[in-house]
Chains A and B, each alone.
Chain A
Amino acid sequence: MKAAVITFPGSNCDRDLVVAFEGAGFQVTRIWHKDAELPEGVDVVGVPGGFSYGDYLRCGAIAAKSPIGGAIVKHAQRGGYVLGICNGFQVITEMGLLPGVLMRNATLRFVCRTVTLNVVTTDSAYTSTFVKGQQIRIPVAHHDGNYTIDADGLKRLQDEDRIALTYADNPNGSMADIAGILSENRRVFGLMPHPERAAEALHGSVDGAALFAGLMGGMALA
């Protein structure tokens, strides 16, 4: 399986995401944001965490308009997989690949801590190795992770079983404790927690590695 990891100016979890993809057996290409095309045969695009364009204007807003943005949208429209982590979640939300918006944390403070997440659905490649209702431990580190959406949109996410992960103890004021959501076709996944930081024993949790392994296995079946 082939993964592409995008680097925007200000991305700072791009290398970590490459390491995590490789750890799960993906062949990874790194893509500069000024490129307008993805390489042939990419299965999954990873949009990493960080502060793309310094979070100026609005988190993710400028990155969503960068040259590679159009290629990512096309990839998703073709049914390709897209994984957006933290700032990457903000970016793909700004691209319109996922509904809603990530607002400033309710505390107005940055929060870095390892949180407990509930696995709400296992109906996606990303969450396929978990058991529904399972609790997993993955770190968060963000200033703007307060997921917000209108009432209809929220109902739709719930009705369509697209809320993949929720916080057991909400760190940012996010609506319905949402930590990660899926697209309609369940192939675009945005989440605020950093699975690449829970990928080996040193990290204190390997639940993130299970997510990448699930993606690898789930994609192979799809």
Chain B
Amino acid sequence: MSEPQITPDLVAAHGLKPDEYQRILQIIGREPTFTELGIFSAMWNEHCSYKSSKIHLRKLPTTGPQVICGPGENAGVVDIGDGDAVIFKMESHNHPSYIEPHQGAATGVGGILRDVFTMGARPIAAMNALSFGLPSHPKTAHLVKGVVEGVGGYGNAFGVPTVGGEVRFHKSYNGNCLVNAFAAGLARTNAIFYSAASGVGMPVVYLGAKTGRDGVGGATMASAEFDETIEEKRPTVQVGDPFTEKCLLEACLELMASGAVISIQDMGAAGLTCSAVEMGDKGGLGIRLQLDDVPQRETNMTAYEMMLSESQERMLMVLKPEMEAEARAIFRKWDLDFAIVGETIPEDRFLILHGNEVKADLPLSKLASSAPEYDRPWVETPPAPALVPVPEIGLLDGLQALIGSPNHAHKGWVYEQYDAQVGADTLVTPGLPAGVVRVHGTGKALAFTSDVTPRYVRANPVQGGRQAVAEAYRNLTAVGALPLATTDNLNFGNPEKPEIMGQFVGALKGIGEACIALDMPIVSGNVSLYNETDGQPILPTPTIGAVGLLKSLDELIAGKPETGDLAVLVGATKGHLGQSALLAEAFGIESGDAPPVDLAAERRNGEFIRANRKALRACTDLGDGGLALAAFELAEAAGLGVWIDANDIPFLFGEDQARYLVAVAQADLAGLQAAAKAAGVPLALVGQFGGETVTLGSESAPMAELSKLYRSAFAAALGV
């Protein structure tokens, strides 16, 4: 079959800029074949190469005594003691989910799960951070339904509990929703699998599902801005099969336990191309693939299609040749494909054969290491204009504006569609600030959270970046966990615009500072750029996923307030209303600066909470919505009323950082006050739990009424 001529239009259609094409010509000294052009396009798109972000990502803190493996592998690996490790990562599937919400979200979950079990870990927890356009936008309800169904459909069938996440709505996501999927797994520290191939002449084995034409060119699509033609891209979205993935998980873990695996890599974006290059490059070897041996689900597939297919539930492995029969038997047991498709070779070549033709013959190391790298021009985000005068509003009206908004209403409609308990290790206490999952068969547990407040990041990227990490730190702390490490999923607009690049650079600076100050190094992550539609960027959304450790279940703070317990505010309150949820939800005002983040205070107050956990019946961190929303949520989950003795809007709804609201038995107050004084932590008695009403200052309303609003507002806003 003859291949298309390489023309400037064809090069452009592959997302390669003219100067990038010139670089290809320089590297190989001749015109590439069609298949080679596809391979370069797959390796050099933004999604796979991080070409716009790499020079800034290098500045992030990625090391620490707890870190076993930082960014660069499929997922980050962190030591949790006793020979156990937690392996985790967060990754976006934004563009596919906008085009085909169910399958886009499902394959996002599938991809991140594979990243984790490729390294030898059994997934034990998943989270999802979802950002949608306004509920009133004609596409939003359809996207929410499809994405939630896709996330649940995949995770539930695969058998991983979904224990946390976020759902937000903002007009900037009208044409570009965000689906950020997190997964964490457990492995023994002496049984972690990496992608670097080793040894010459070792068989390269294809595992899992067959290859079809789905997703050809997906990574390139995911690296482009959207416009009205996007519906035509639907065929580039892959279709997920959680059943095959579950079988693949079990087969891979059995295979790894057998000792047959030299290295293994999942086929994600740019499928066979990316995985083979990765294994060869990391091992300093070449790879030869014979495509006739690739298990195929469609007929007459070309080399180009096989190299760029993003069919799901596939893995590539370098096998110990003497273990072939044993390895094959494991895959036969699980009714999965197992095919030797090539071998490692000593020279630096990526050699692709199909029939008796050479379809590609490229210097392998250059594919990975010579990808373009841009120091894109950027401008610092100017200081946010001063906060506009805050309109008058009643205290309870303010609270109702929050709990009646889909952003802050109870998200049961979403979370009940996710299996949160499969594995029977999930701590079942609704309303906790972080998901908690026991390390199976031990008394240890891990806590998981994902956070970012995009309004803050837009107003002030540095403070917003710090805040995202600080809030993750607080959420983990509020369940009693010691924050360990972080994964970042950086969603931004078009990096070719200096002001967008400025947001990116600023946010990374803030994230880096906070990760150092709070000892939560970044161990994995993902960058998603070009989140724009018709030139309109999303709010900058650097989602922070974080993991904390509870060395013993005794360290948990998971109680509920009881009648008569005191409401005690930990941390200093100044009443910062800039970019607050109250202004956004009650008045549609997004004005002023983001709240400043004092990292030393965050750490001090967090350590205070963990050190005094025995005196705390219940604990929650204060995020957007401030004291009023936190008090309401804590009381509502306990089925109690609450009284907060404060009459002013800034105190009740301000979003000052480094704060927690705790429920304390009256007998424990004096001791807690003394401990706070000794630690230099501001502590204020602000009210009491109990009764059946919510009282803010001099205003009261029945909890039952507010709870009804809180629990119905999400579905009502979306009409679902």
| Chain A residues near B (Cβ < 8 Å) | 9-10, 12-13, 15-16, 19-20, 32, 34, 49-51, 53-56, 109-114, 139, 141, 143, 194, 196-197, 199, 202-205
Contact = CB atoms under 8 A, between A and B. Distances in A.
Contacts of A202: 425, 427-428, 438, 553
A202 B441 CA distance: 13
A141 B211 CA distance: 32
Contacts of B424: 13, 16, 19-20, 196-197, 199, 203
A112 B428 contact: no
Contacts of B425: 202
Q: Which 6 A-B pairs have the closest CB atoms?
A: A12-B159, A54-B243, A204-B428, A16-B424, A51-B157, A141-B419
A52 to B, nearest CB: 9
Contacts of A10: 157, 243, 246-247
B243 A56 contact: yes
Contacts, number: 91
A53 B244 CA distance: 9
Contact of A54 (B242, B417, B438): B242
Nearest to A32: B333
A141 B422 contact: yes
B313 to A, nearest CB: 11
A16 B243 contact: no
A112 B418 contact: yes
Nearest to B122: A15
A197 B158 CA distance: 17
Contacts of B246: 9-10, 12, 51
A16 B422 contact: yes
Contacts of A199: 424
A113 B243 CA distance: 23
Given A51-B157, A110-B153, A202-B428, 17 more contacts: A9-B243, A10-B243, A10-B246, A12-B157, A16-B423, A20-B424, A49-B422, A50-B159, A53-B243, A109-B149, A109-B417, A112-B418, A139-B421, A141-B419, A141-B420, A202-B438, A203-B428
Contacts of B334: 9
A199 B425 CA distance: 11
Contacts of A54: 157, 241-244
Interface string B130-168: 000000000000000000010011001111000000000
A53 B246 CA distance: 10
B689 to A, nearest CB: 20
B159 A139 contact: no
A54 B241 CA distance: 8
A10 B248 CA distance: 10
B553 A113 contact: no
B157 A113 contact: no
Contacts of B156: 51, 110, 112, 141, 143
B496 interface: no
A53 B420 CA distance: 21
B612 interface: no
A110 B159 CA distance: 14
A34 B329 CA distance: 14
Nearest to A50: B159
A19 B438 CA distance: 14
B335 interface: yes
B397 interface: no
B247 A194 contact: no
Contact of B416 (A32, A53, A112): A112
Contacts of B418: 110, 112
Nearest to B429: A204
Interface of B: 149, 152-153, 156-159, 241-244, 246-247, 333-335, 415-425, 427-429, 438, 553
A51 B243 contact: yes
A196 B429 CA distance: 17
In this complex, the member of A12, A15, A54, A196 whose beta carbon has the largest number of chain B beta carbons within 10 angstroms is: A12
A33 to B, nearest CB: 11
Contacts of A113: 416
Contacts of A110: 149, 152-153, 156, 416-419
Nearest to A203: B428
Contacts of B421: 112, 139, 141, 194, 197, 203
13 contacts: A9-B335, A12-B246, A15-B423, A49-B422, A51-B157, A54-B157, A54-B242, A110-B418, A111-B416, A112-B156, A114-B428, A202-B427, A202-B553
B417 A12 contact: no
Given A141-B422, A204-B429, A55 B157 contact: yes
A203 B417 CA distance: 19
A37 B152 CA distance: 35
Contact of B158 (A12, A49, A109, A196): A12
B417 to A, nearest CB: 5
Contacts of A203: 421, 424, 428
A54 B153 CA distance: 10
Nearest to A20: B424
A110 B242 CA distance: 15
Contacts of A141: 156, 419-422
A15 B253 CA distance: 15
Given A110-B417, A111-B416, A51 B428 contact: no
Contacts of A204: 428-429
Contacts of B244: 54
Contacts of A56: 243
Contacts of A53: 243
A51 B419 contact: no
A112 B416 CA distance: 5
B305 to A, nearest CB: 26
Contacts of A34: 333
A139 B417 contact: no
A9 B333 CA distance: 10
Contacts of B159: 12-13, 50-51
B263 to A, nearest CB: 26
Nearest to B412: A113
A91 to B, nearest CB: 15
A51 B243 CA distance: 7
Contacts of A109: 149, 416-417
Nearest to B437: A202
Contacts of B415: 112
B297 to A, nearest CB: 16
B337 to A, nearest CB: 14
In this complex, the member of B334, B418, B422 whose beta carbon has the largest number of chain A beta carbons within 10 angstroms is: B422
Contacts of A9: 243, 246-247, 334-335
B321 to A, nearest CB: 28
A31 B614 CA distance: 45
Nearest to B243: A54
Contacts of A13: 159, 422, 424
A109 B156 CA distance: 12
A24 to B, nearest CB: 14
A56 B157 CA distance: 11
B711 to A, nearest CB: 13
In this complex, the member of B243, B247, B334 whose beta carbon has the largest number of chain A beta carbons within 10 angstroms is: B243
Contacts of B243: 9-10, 51, 53-56
A41 to B, nearest CB: 26
A110 B153 CA distance: 8
Contacts of B153: 110
Given A9-B334, A50-B159, A54-B242, A112 B420 contact: yes
In this complex, the member of B247, B418, B421 whose beta carbon has the largest number of chain A beta carbons within 10 angstroms is: B421
B118 to A, nearest CB: 19
Contacts of B416: 109-113
Contacts of B152: 110
B558 to A, nearest CB: 10
